[in-house]
Chain A
Amino acid sequence: MSEVGFVFSLSRLWHVAGGQVILILAGLALIFVDIWLSTKHKANEGTIMGWLTIFALMATLGHLVFREWSLHDIVFMGVFSAEKFSVFVSCIVLMAGILASLMSIGYLRNNGLARGEYFILLIFAVYGTIALVQSVDLLMMFIALEVMSLAIYILAAFLKGDQKSQEGALKYFLLGSFGSAFFLFGLALLFGLTGSVNLTVLAKTLSVGIFEQPAVLVALGMIMAGLFFKMALVPFHMWTPDVYEGSPAVITGFMATAVKAGAFGVFVKLLFVTFTPILSLSGQPEFFTTVNLASLGAYWKPVLWWLALLTMFFGNLIAVSQENVKRMLAYSSVAHAGYMALGILAANAEGRMGVLFYLFSYTLMNLGAFGVLYILDGKERGAQTLEDYRGLGFKYPTLSFLMSLFLVAMAGLPPTAGFIGKFYVFSAAIKEGYLLLAALGVLTSVIGAYYYLRVIYMMYMKDAVREITPGPVAAPTVIALVITALGIIYFGILPEGLARIATIAQQSLAFVF
């Protein structure tokens, strides 16, 4: 049990949160490596740092996956948990981190910005996201959320001479702090009501009767608002377009995938462990009373219903009128958040599995699209408008084909993983009786198909109006693009394996104690 687990032991720390330890040590070591590199090997600084980062992230991934087989502890000091759900989401985050680092090597070279700080911040951003996903303690969630956000704010502002990057980062920082403050207020209310910040203890204490107090609803609302901000659900999405357009392209891809995965993962964990009766399924007698928590669903479900609808509609409708492809992808990522919210709303096993599958496949296609985008761009903001994409299909056939593949996947057409993800989420929602919402959701994805396919139309059916100069294609980026493209097609044709792992992962939520 979590209360008695407050004994510090290094071996248990290594078992449960070993991935985080590796990341912190790697981040600290890279600071010194970078100092050495910048005096001795200035020319290759970006490349060497990039590969070292990839190595560290791979080691973390290996540790997490390997530990899952020989796991005998789940919760460490009532703060971190390593059940399969957290590990699954952590793997998505690490995958996004690895792909982003691979692409960053080429991106930084194209922009003449090969600086070691970039990769150090990227490692700490991944660290913060994993700590966020693994925590089962509201206070630790807040601190990890801040580690993640702070690293991302700085990465968003990484193009120092660029006004849009600076503007976007400042907006993100101000609005992000506001969102975090909401989360913190919710946390304080819950702590004041129950005297604990641990998710399972909270569930137990709330279910005894406190959950009927209006203050609990206020706290839940505030925590949800704080997380919705990171997930970019409408009406908390205002920062998204400016930040996504301003940030370095690869960082935008990382933000849209890893940060979203982290926020969704922690929201699912928080919502289902503390505010729904999932723990009553665990077989532990002390959690039997948590069945009561089902009555809270009457409050959060309508809210999520409307938010999912608004997010799907606004994201897709506004994306239609965008001329800048990067900005269009920003609105599309808002729309995708809406589909994932649908899976959470369904609140059944298949819905949670759908969300996990969706996050996984979305990470592949979104990072792939941003990878192609930065190459076509040449230098940041070189060629991002729809006009620039005219007639690219015949001049750069491979890049155009890859872009088309990623866009088709985002539009949710078979035989890509994007289709399967949408299928799982919608079918889960229909099973729970949200027929109207699912129908409207399918309608919005038709709107989505219009603006995704318009880019493909521009590339293949129109003649070029101006010459664009794509940057050189770096070898690591090729690796990343091949992985993402193959992944999208593989999981589009054979989704059962991943779906089975995701199903087991979401079941493990009932055993976080």
Chain B
Amino acid sequence: MDFYFWLFATMAVCAGIFTIAARDPLPSALGLLTVFIACAALYLHLHAPLIAIFQVTIYAGAILVLVVFVIMLLTSPDERLSLLQANMSYRIMGVVLGACIIGLLAAGTKGLINIVGSKALPDGFGSPARFGDLFYRNYLLHFEVASVLLLVALIGGIYLAKKNL
């Protein structure tokens, strides 16, 4: 048995359960952080160090900070979340949707295994150097145009959000 995999997989699942079971939003966010980190460790194990780095910087770093900010700004200290959790129809819906997603994921994984099978990884797979080489050679223009996309989003965001320009 792969000790490394089972350690972090268990950690991810436990933290995931904690995330949805926690009574207060802030510990729930911390649970989510643990899920992200555990997933990053799993990616590292799958020879995808770059994805692991992205996982930590973007998800655990940027997105989680955003989540925490929203929680701090929007929710009052106690009530809201527990109020939602008490609602029975939410729980039933959650169980049904959750079961559906698990089913979909299982079917998807099965399909993926059928298509891909087990193959040896090409040389240098997933290394940041190989990625950078592809990214700044074959996909250079995509990278540049994506920066225009961000610029447009920035201009629009400022225009729409600011009251007195």
Residues of chain A touching chain B, judged by Cβ–Cβ distance below 8 Å, are 6, 8, 24, 31, 76-80, 115, 117, 120-121, 124, 127-128, 131, 137, 139-140, 143-144, 146-147, 150-151, 153-154, 157-158, 160, 192
- If A120-B155, A154-B159 touch, whether A146 touches B149 (CB-CB below 8 Å) is yes
- Report B132-152 CB contacts with A as 1/0, cut-off 8 Å: 000001111110011011011
Q: How far is B159's CA from A84's CA once the two chains are assembled, in angstroms?
A: 37
Q: Which residues of A contact B160 (CB under 8 A)?
A: 154, 157, 160
Q: Which residues of B contact A24 (CB under 8 A)?
A: 148
Taking the complex as formed, is B124 at the interface, i.e. its CB lies under 8 A from any CB of chain A?
no
Q: Which residues of B contact A78 (CB under 8 A)?
A: 138
Give 18 A-B contacts (CB < 8 Å), ordered by A residue.
A6-B138, A24-B148, A78-B138, A115-B159, A117-B155, A117-B165, A120-B155, A121-B152, A121-B155, A121-B159, A124-B148, A124-B152, A127-B148, A137-B142, A140-B141, A143-B142, A146-B149, A147-B145
Q: Which residues of B contact A8 (CB under 8 A)?
A: 137, 140
Question: Which residue, of B115, B138, B148, has the highest number of chain A Cβ atoms within 10 A?
Answer: B148
> Which B residues from 6 to 34 make CB contacts under 8 A with A?
none
Taking the complex as formed, is B104 at the interface, i.e. its CB lies under 8 A from any CB of chain A?
no
Q: How far is B152's CA from A253's CA once the two chains are assembled, in angstroms?
A: 21
B112 — nearest CB in chain A belongs to which residue? Answer: A192
Taking the complex as formed, is B58 at the interface, i.e. its CB lies under 8 A from any CB of chain A?
no
A151 — nearest CB in chain B belongs to which residue? Answer: B152
Q: Which residues of B contact A153 (CB under 8 A)?
A: 156
Taking the complex as formed, is B66 at the interface, i.e. its CB lies under 8 A from any CB of chain A?
no
- If A150-B156, A154-B156 touch, whether A80 touches B148 (CB-CB below 8 Å) is no
Q: Which residues of A contact B142 (CB under 8 A)?
A: 79, 137, 139-140, 143
Q: Which residues of B contact A192 (CB under 8 A)?
A: 115
Count the B residues whose beta carbon is within 8 Å of the partner chain — how many?
19
Q: Which residues of B contact A124 (CB under 8 A)?
A: 148, 151-152, 155
Provide the main secondary structure of the chain B interface: helix
B139 — nearest CB in chain A belongs to which residue? Answer: A139
Q: Which residues of A contact B145 (CB under 8 A)?
A: 131, 140, 143-144, 147
> Which B residues from 72 to 89 make CB contacts under 8 A with A?
none
Q: Are A150 and B140 in contact (CB under 8 A)?
A: no
Q: How far is B139's CA from A158's CA once the two chains are assembled, in angstroms?
A: 33
Q: Which residues of B contact A151 (CB under 8 A)?
A: 152, 156
Q: Which residues of B contact A31 (CB under 8 A)?
A: 155
Q: Which residues of A contact B140 (CB under 8 A)?
A: 8, 77
Taking the complex as formed, is B65 at the interface, i.e. its CB lies under 8 A from any CB of chain A?
no
Q: Which residues of A contact B165 (CB under 8 A)?
A: 115, 117
Chain B nearest CB: distance from A79 CB in Å? 5
Taking the complex as formed, is B97 at the interface, i.e. its CB lies under 8 A from any CB of chain A?
no
Q: Are A77 and B152 in contact (CB under 8 A)?
A: no
Residues of chain B touching chain A, judged by Cβ–Cβ distance below 8 Å, are 115, 137-142, 145-146, 148-149, 151-153, 155-156, 159-160, 165
Q: Which residues of B contact A146 (CB under 8 A)?
A: 149
B140 — nearest CB in chain A belongs to which residue? Answer: A8
Q: Which residues of B contact A121 (CB under 8 A)?
A: 152, 155-156, 159
Q: Which residues of B contact A128 (CB under 8 A)?
A: 148, 152
For the A-B complex, the count of residue pairs with Cβ-Cβ distances under 8 Å equals: 64
Chain B nearest CB: distance from A372 CB in Å? 28
Q: How far is B108's CA from A400's CA once the two chains are assembled, in angstroms?
A: 60
Q: Which residues of B contact A127 (CB under 8 A)?
A: 148
Q: Are B137 and A6 in contact (CB under 8 A)?
A: yes
Q: Which residues of A contact B137 (CB under 8 A)?
A: 6, 8
Q: Kindly list 9 other residue pairs between chains A and B, CB separation below 8 angstroms, not including A146-B149, A147-B148, A150-B156.
A: A6-B137, A8-B137, A77-B140, A79-B142, A121-B152, A150-B152, A154-B156, A154-B159, A160-B160
Q: How far is B153's CA from A157's CA once the two chains are assembled, in angstroms?
A: 13
Chain A nearest CB: distance from B147 CB in Å? 10
Q: Are B152 and A143 in contact (CB under 8 A)?
A: no
Q: Are B141 and A79 in contact (CB under 8 A)?
A: yes
Q: How far is B146's CA from A147's CA once the two chains are assembled, in angstroms?
A: 8
Q: Which residues of A contact B156 (CB under 8 A)?
A: 121, 150-151, 153-154
Q: Which residues of B contact A120 (CB under 8 A)?
A: 155
A5 — nearest CB in chain B belongs to which residue? Answer: B138
Q: Are A150 and B141 in contact (CB under 8 A)?
A: no
Chain B nearest CB: distance from A104 CB in Å? 15
Q: Which residues of B contact A150 (CB under 8 A)?
A: 149, 152-153, 156
A124 — nearest CB in chain B belongs to which residue? Answer: B152
Chain B nearest CB: distance from A114 CB in Å? 12
The 7 A-B pairs of least Cβ separation, nearest first, read A154-B156, A147-B149, A79-B141, A124-B152, A117-B159, A143-B145, A150-B152
A77 — nearest CB in chain B belongs to which residue? Answer: B141
Q: Which residues of B contact A160 (CB under 8 A)?
A: 160
Q: Which residues of B contact A158 (CB under 8 A)?
A: 159
Q: How far is B56's CA from A42's CA once the two chains are assembled, in angstroms?
A: 46
- If A8-B140, A77-B140, A77-B141 touch, whether A143 touches B146 (CB-CB below 8 Å) is yes
Chain A nearest CB: distance from B122 CB in Å? 12
Q: How far is B144's CA from A8's CA once the two chains are assembled, in angstroms?
A: 13
Chain A nearest CB: distance from B121 CB in Å? 15
Question: Which residue, of B138, B146, B152, has the highest number of chain A Cβ atoms within 10 A?
Answer: B152
Chain A nearest CB: distance from B134 CB in Å? 10
B149 — nearest CB in chain A belongs to which residue? Answer: A147
Q: How far is B156's CA from A76's CA once the two chains are assembled, in angstroms?
A: 30
Q: Which residues of B contact A117 (CB under 8 A)?
A: 155, 159, 165
